[in-house]
Amino acid sequence: MCGIVGYIGYSKADNVIISSLKRLEYRGYDSWGVAISEGGRLNVYKQVGAIGEVESYELGDSTIGIGHTRWATHGKPSEVNAHPHLDCNKRIAIVHNGIIENFLPLKERLIKEGHRFVSETDTEVIAHLIEKNYKGDLEKAVVAALPELKGSYAIVAISSKERKLVACRYKSPLILGVGDGEYFIASDVPAVLEYTNRVVYLEDGDVVTITDSGYEIKNNGVEVSRKVELVSWSIEDAEKGGYEHFMLKEIHETPRVIEDTLLGYVSETIDLDVSFAAGTSEIIFVACGTSYHAALVGKYVIEEMSGIPVRVEYASEFNYHPAPLSRSLVVGITQSGETADTLEALRKAKRAGARVLAITNVLGSSVTRIADYVIYTRAGPEIGVAATKTFIAQLVVIYLMAAKLSMLTRSEVEKLVLELKLLPERVRRILDKEDKIREIGEFLADYENMMYIGRGLGYPVALEGALKMKEISYIHAEGYPAGELKHGPFALLGKETPVVACVIRDNTYDITLNNIKEVKARDSPVIAIADEKDEEVEKYVDFVVRTPEVDRIFTPVTYSVALQLLAYYTAKKRGCEIDKPRHLAKSVTVE
Ligand code: F6R
């Protein structure tokens, strides 16, 4: 997803901007560009592909500029479509994240008025609209252009004539970094962490004008003050810390992430406040991708423990279902807090009068402004595009929610808390034995198709395992309820299609073993994920990934860590770009 950077201060702007853009690479991009304002003109550099390793770029000595990493939506990745985009007279340059939905009629009108367009992007209309309104004051021109735009945007504008940056946001993330005598504007905090840990989270409708002497934020034309937050992440948090890939580092952070998330909400007992759920008739989870799989685990666990009916919807499909009732609790799970589909689903829920809770990993993210209540996972920044530690943190929050919503007795809750507190050690034991998982991952690297199966709690685990495998190794992997295979997918089985079976020792156990036998009878190699006390399963499968024994409801945690490692080592053996898989973005801010 696109990344934005702006800088004004005393350092060479091109170097600051490029190093900040590199910190946003995790969002995914296909082209990039920088514009600096120097000597009454704009110097622009754009390129397709990665920024690369060059440490210093020579656009000029200017100390003000903007930059962008583009993830193509309107128009293919190309130099001309890369941002920054300029007006006809090359006096104004802008970078943009989001989508301008009405760009076509705007473009047609502007062309009739004499504007010349060069790109296929929706973004270019913004530069021309600002140009049209520019009478020597960039802020006024931006403010005059905004009412014409329909859609979502985070924009930073610069002009050749004034030493200032003007930035604004609506439904796309944007933060202001406040340094000593220098200011940064960016899509996300890692971009500025090298320079400052003082950050303002801008809100929808904010327009910020930044000069050397400070910044002023207006919303609806009225000056507003926004809190400067101190970000506790260190720059090291956002770097690899000796691991070959962010993904592996982040999987290894899981024990600490569980501890940190528990620390926030558990003492002797569970302190999480769930009063937001009082009197709720149903819980509806809305989420995408991995977060959707966390929600599915939530359905099993919350229904089982509390008896409250739970619905789980893909956020992108939520619009096409009946609106929630006013007594519903709608829970958006989104690690980034910026996923456009999830935000839109939650807005719909609010319009219907439902209570809205967000579970997110990012302080101040857009979802926190929409939701009535927020629960934070405490996973720290996740840079690898594939969600790993944040998924586990989501599960931990879901367990806590389920326990608090349940009818459990005090001693049952204490037992559960004890089990939760043991989880970090259980996960450490999986990480200590990752060599075995690596061997199996390397075995899988030669295949092109796979199936993942599970029953009950094992089903969302299978879905998530398959998603991890396909997104980073590019092996076609499908997750199925184990009982569904015989209703069609059996036709795909055979020795060229390995099957990963998530085997949980609960009421699904015997029947899952039967399903494994059916698969083996069709010659597929079978890899079972099972706990170390399971002495039966190895008789029927080719490999077993052993995980420490935990209470059955926590198997999604241990099994998922094992499946994340399995996908990682398969992808590594295949030589894939693990942290930045092709075509994917970390933060999907378009619907
Ligand atoms: C997969 C992955 C994605 C995200 C999805 C939702 O590894 O990371 O499927 O889970 O894009 O993202 P969030 O949780 O930020 O809403």
| The pLDDT value given to residue 312 | 97
The region of weakest confidence among 43-57, 132-146, 320-334, 445-459 is: 43-57
| Mean pLDDT in residue range 176-195 | 95
Is 565 a residue whose pLDDT tops 70?
A: yes
User: Which range is most confident: 3-7, 46-50, 586-590?
Assistant: 3-7
Would you say residue 583 has pLDDT above 90?
A: no
Average pLDDT of the residues in 554-560: 98
pLDDT at 206 over 80: yes
- Contact, 411 vs 417, CB < 8 A? no
Q: Distance (Å, rounded) from C-alpha 319 to C-alpha 313?
A: 10
* pTM score: 0.78
Contact 106, 148 (CB under 8 A): yes
The pLDDT tens digits of the residues spanning 305-344 come to: 999 999 999 999 998 888 787 889 999 999 999 999 999 9
State residue 523's pLDDT score. Answer: 96
Distance (Å, whole) CA 375 – CA 368: 9
pLDDT of residue 72: 75
DSSP string, 284-333: EEEE-HHHHHHHHHHHHHHHHHH---EEEEEGGGGGGSPPPPTTEEEEEE
Neighbouring residues of 168: CB distance < 8 A, sequence distance ≥ 6 = 142, 146, 153, 154, 155, 174, 205, 206, 207, 208
Does the annotation count 88 as an active-site position?
no
Paired with 478 in beta bridges are 451
What pLDDT is stored for residue 24 in this prediction?
A: 87
Q: Which of 107, 348, 572, 586 is catalytic?
A: 586
What pLDDT score was predicted for residue 1? 65
Task: List, in order of start, the domains of the chain with CATH numbers.
Answer: 3-236 (3.60.20.10), 243-430 (3.40.50.10490), 433-578 (3.40.50.10490)
Secondary structure of 177-234 in HEC code, one letter for each residue: EECCCCEEEECCHHHCCCCCCEEEECCCCEEEEEECCEEEEEECCEEECCCCEECCCC
Amino acid, res. 142? V
Q: Scanning the structure block, which residue is given the tokens 């970000």?
A: 231
Q: Considering only CA atoms, which residue is closest to atom 7 of ligand 1?
A: 386
pLDDT of res. 28: 67
Q: What is the pLDDT of residue 415?
A: 92
The answer to whether 257 and 393 have CB atoms below 8 angstroms apart is yes
| 572 catalytically annotated | no
**Taking residues 495-508, what's their average pLDDT?**
97
pLDDT in tens, 210-236: 999 999 999 999 999 999 999 887 776
Does pLDDT of 240 surpass 70?
A: yes
Determine the residue of 290, 464, 589 to mutate for testing ligand 1's pocket, defined as the one with the most ligand atoms within 8 A of the Cβ atom.
290
* Residue pair 188/24 in contact by the 8 Å Cβ criterion: yes
Q: If you measure from the C-alpha of residue 317 to the centroid of ligand 1, how many angstroms do you get, rounded to a whole number?
A: 16
Which residues lie with the beta carbon below 6 Å from any ligand 1 atom? 288-291, 334-336, 339, 342, 386-387, 467, 471, 588
Whether residue 55 is predicted with pLDDT greater than 80 in this model: the reply is no
**Residue 127: burial class (beta carbons within 10 Å; 0-12, 13-18, 19+):** buried
